[in-house]
Structure 1
Amino acid sequence: MSGEDHAGGAPAPDARPEPPATRRGLIGPFTGRQLASVVAVVVVAAVALSLATRPIAPGPGAVTALPAVTPYIVGPVTEGLRPGDAAPELEATRDDGSTVILADLDGNPVRLADLRGRLVWINFWATWCPPCQAETPILRDLGAEYGDAGLTIVGIAVQETTPDDVRAFAKRYDLGYTIAFDASADIFHRYRVFALPTQFFIAPDGRILEVVNGPLTEATARSRIEAWLPRG
Structure 2
Amino acid sequence: MRRRLLGALAGALLLAGCSTGADAVDVNNGGEFRFVAGTPAGEVIPDGERAAAPEFGGTLLGGGTFDSGELSGNIAVLNFWGSWCPPCRVETPEFQAVYADVRDRGVEFLGLNVKETSEQFAQAFVDSEGIEFPSIFDPRGEVALAFRDYPANAIPSTIVLDRQGRVAAVYTGEVAQDDLRAMLDRLLAEGD
* TM-score under structure 1 length normalisation: 0.61
Within 5 Å, which residues of 2 pair with 1:1-232? 43=10, 46=13, 70-73=16-19, 74=21, 75=35, 83=45, 84-90=50-56, 101-192=57-148, 193-229=152-188, 231=191
1:164-189, Cα deviation, whole Å (9 max, x unpaired)? 11111111111001111103321122
Unpaired segments ≥5 residues, structure 2: 1-6, 22-34, 38-43
Task: Compute the displacement of 1:108 (Å).
Answer: 2.0
Bigger fraction of residues in helix: 2
Task: Give secondary structure in 2 for the equivalent of 1:196.
Answer: coil
Task: Compute the displacement of 1:76 (Å).
Answer: 5.2
Mapped to 2, the partners of 1:205 and 1:156 lie a distance apart of: 20
Task: Give secondary structure in 1 for the equivalent of 2:164.
Answer: coil
Mapped to 2, the partners of 1:181 and 1:122 lie a distance apart of: 13
Task: Compute the displacement of 1:136 (Å).
Answer: 1.6
Q: Which residue identity does 1:196 align to in structure 2?
A: I
Q: Which residue identity does 2:13 align to in structure 1?
A: A
Mapped to 2, the partners of 1:164 and 1:106 lie a distance apart of: 9
Bigger fraction of residues in strand: 2
C-alpha contact (below 8 Å) 1:112/1:206 kept by paired residues: no
Aligned residues: 157
C-alpha contact (below 8 Å) 2:78/2:110 kept by paired residues: yes
Q: Which residue identity does 1:174 align to in structure 2?
A: G
Distance 1:195 1:45, change over 3 A: farther
Which residue of structure 1 lines up, in the alignment, with residue 32 of structure 2? none
Q: Which residue identity does 1:215 align to in structure 2?
A: E
- Identity, in percent, stands at 25
Task: Compute the displacement of 1:191 (Å).
Answer: 1.6
Unpaired segments ≥5 residues, structure 1: 1-39, 48-68, 91-100
Mapped to 1, the partners of 2:182 and 2:90 lie a distance apart of: 19
C-alpha contact (below 8 Å) 2:54/2:147 kept by paired residues: yes
C-alpha contact (below 8 Å) 2:18/2:36 kept by paired residues: no
* Alpha-carbon RMSD: 2.5
Which residue of structure 2 lines up, in the alignment, with residue 96 of structure 1? none
Task: Compute the displacement of 1:45 (Å).
Answer: 9.0
Task: Indicate the structure (1 or 2) with the bigger Cα radius of gyration.
Answer: 1
